[in-house]
Structure 1
Amino acid sequence: MDLNLFSKALLWLLLVTLPETAFSQSADFTIKDVKFESQGITLAGSVLTPKKPVAAVVIVHGSDPVKRELEFAKRLAKEGIAVLTYDKRGVGESVGVYVGPSVGTNNIDAANLDLLAQDASAAVSVLRTNLKDKKIPIGLAGFSQAGWIIPIAAGKNPLIAFMVLFSCPTITTLEQLRFQFYTNGNNSFWENHTDEDAREHTKNDPDRYQFAATDPKISLNTLSIPGLWLYGEKDIQIPVKLCIEQLNTLKAKGKPFEYTLFPALGHNTSSETIIEPVAISIQWIKQKALEIKKVKVSQ
């Protein structure tokens, strides 16, 4: 028998019969599926572990019914950042009920945001158990709606050492809705409106819904961990310049918060085709992880 031909046939057979997870491994990192409990339900996710992790991150979802963010997680893992990414509650393999506009429910009321923050906090604790080196700093990285969730979670769990927020609001939930209703999804909104105009409507438009607003500044005022916000100036989901103004107020109080503004981008600052914001966030995470480790050593 032609051994070379036999080897090729065997390789082909393995490729078509082995489970997909066996080929989610990389020379740079491994992937392990996990399940964990949070507030009475089971969440399902994946832990990506580099050979020599320098930092670790739990990915926090935006408002959509999102499964685990594996592609984004792989971008981080290839750079030496361990990641836990999970299916949002009620989505994919995670149990529970998804809440959001697509199913006719309010996903930014205080109760739901707190629930999602509990999920993120539980994920941090699970990620830590999967790290051999327990001294590796763990942070949260999230998108859009995560701007309300991450500060709440960081206030609940002392393991959270830093946060990275892509297109995340620093204004209240009701203010964000006013702005979103005003832009009405118009991609050319900023061609015909000024920042002053947008601020006026964000601050003063009547609310279409009545519920208790969540103000992320309440949580941010209690935090001393470093944070990085990444914004697209053409965002029509959140009023970026107003959010930056709020950050500057917090920075003036000594909060270790930073931001980067990308003039050509909109709300999407983290897709596979948009490289710079993610690259900046990776370098920032590595830098902060190193600084955090040095502080712990000196203590």
Structure 2
Amino acid sequence: MKTNFSSNLYLWLLVITLPLTVFSQSTDFTIQDVKFKSQGIILAGSILMPKNPIAAAVIVHGSDPVKREMEFAKRLAKEGIAVLTYDKRGVGESAGVYIGPSVGTNNIDTGNLNLLSDDASAAVNTFRTYLTDKKTPIGLVGFSQAGWIIPIAASKNPQIEFMVLFSCPTITTLEQLRFQFYTNGNTTFWENHSESDAREHIKNDPDRYQFTATDPKISLNTLLIPGLWLFGEKDIQIPVKLCIEQLNTLKALGNPFEYTLFSKLGHNTSSDNDREPVDISLQWIKQKALSIKNSKK
């Protein structure tokens, strides 16, 4: 009886300590469920693992209540980039509370952005343990709101070695809100307004929310990891030309940052409708990953 109990206990312990079961597999990559802890809660996601990954990336969400970004992750994985994508805090299988515009709350106060940056950092730490080659460069790839989250996470976690930011602001959170309230979702905004007009409102409009602004440039100033921003010139969520101007200032100070501007696109620069931004980001990640890996030899 004692022998059987010990044997059964061993098998039970083995099961709970092994990685979760692979639920999908293709000739390009495997997909595996993972769970990890961040600030006292459990977040749930998936790892997409090519056979010999060139690089690894954790996907950071925009402001919406987004589950894991599987379709976008597959585009990266098919190109040899390992990906960890997870359900946002309070969404899908992840615990915690979602705070954001979809439930009528302000989601870009300093406390929430720092909390979400902790989630991204915890995802990186977890992901690293799944990478066989410990020299594989790991970075963050994000959208929109991630423009504030990624710099904070990267400034906290030295394991983050590159960043790709789709339609992400370099201005403060309050400046972004002033611009967004002024454009008011008008898709023809730039047909009827000038850059100087928009900047005047960004500078002087009264704030509808009262909170301490987060300025991503504070973190970006300290970062020496390569970064790529992808902007759509017709964006009505963030003032792209102002963001680019601020990036150019950082570049002049020696920060290894780059950007690409797409004249016909708006805020959704990662859309399947135009593959060029994602294709450019893929080639950039591969190039930077090779450079980072060579520097570790």
TM range (shorter): over 0.9
Partner residue in 2 for 1:58: 58
In the TM superposition, residue 203 of structure 1 has moved relative to its aligned partner by 1.4
Q: Which amino acid aligns with 1:270?
A: S
Partner residue in 2 for 1:251: 251
Runs of 4+ in 1 over 2 A off after TM superposition: none
What is the CA deviation profile of residues 183-236 of structure 1, one whole-angstrom value per residue up to 9, with x for unaligned ones? 000000000011111111111111111100000000000110000000000000
Q: Which amino acid aligns with 1:242?
A: L
Matches within 5 A, 1:163-202: 163-202=163-202
The CA distance in 1 between the partners of 2:61 and 2:49, in whole Å, is 20
The CA distance in 1 between the partners of 2:254 and 2:90, in whole Å, is 39
What is the CA deviation profile of residues 227-277 of structure 1, one whole-angstrom value per residue up to 9, with x for unaligned ones? 000000000000000000000000000000000000000000002222000
Partner residue in 2 for 1:224: 224
Q: Does 2:213 match 1:213?
A: yes
Q: Does 2:140 match 1:126?
A: no
Q: Which amino acid aligns with 1:218?
A: I
Could you state the TM-score of these two structures normalised by the residue count of structure 2?
0.92
Partner residue in 1 for 2:18: none
Q: Which amino acid aligns with 1:45?
A: G
In the TM superposition, residue 101 of structure 1 has moved relative to its aligned partner by 1.7
Could you state the TM-score of these two structures normalised by the residue count of structure 1?
0.91
Q: In structure 2, the residue corresponding to 1:197 is in which secondary structure?
A: helix
What is the CA deviation profile of residues 65-109 of structure 1, one whole-angstrom value per residue up to 9, with x for unaligned ones? 000000000000000000000000000000000001221222100
Q: CA RMSD in A?
A: 1.0
Matches within 5 A, 1:1-299: 22=23, 24-297=24-297
The CA distance in 2 between the partners of 1:272 and 1:265, in whole Å, is 12
The CA distance in 2 between the partners of 1:68 and 1:271, in whole Å, is 16
What is the CA deviation profile of residues 8-45 of structure 1, one whole-angstrom value per residue up to 9, with x for unaligned ones? xxxxxxxxxxxx964x3110000000000000000000
Equivalent pair of 2:22/2:30 in contact (CA under 8 Å) = no
Q: Which moved more, 1:194-203 or 1:87-96?
A: 194-203
The CA distance in 2 between the partners of 1:85 and 1:195, in whole Å, is 36
Equivalent pair of 2:63/2:144 in contact (CA under 8 Å) = yes
Q: In structure 2, the residue corresponding to 1:56 is in which secondary structure?
A: strand
Q: How many residues end up aligned between the 2 structures?
A: 277
Partner residue in 1 for 2:8: none
Q: In structure 1, the residue corresponding to 2:94 is in which secondary structure?
A: coil
Note the residue ranges of structure 1 that are not aligned, 5 or more in a row: 1-19
Q: Which amino acid aligns with 1:68?
A: R
The CA distance in 2 between the partners of 1:92 and 1:25, in whole Å, is 22
Q: In structure 2, the residue corresponding to 1:72 is in which secondary structure?
A: helix
Q: Which moved more, 1:268-277 or 1:254-263?
A: 268-277
The CA distance in 2 between the partners of 1:145 and 1:70, in whole Å, is 19
Q: In structure 2, the residue corresponding to 1:151 is in which secondary structure?
A: helix
Q: In structure 2, the residue corresponding to 1:210 is in which secondary structure?
A: coil
Q: Which amino acid aligns with 1:78?
A: K
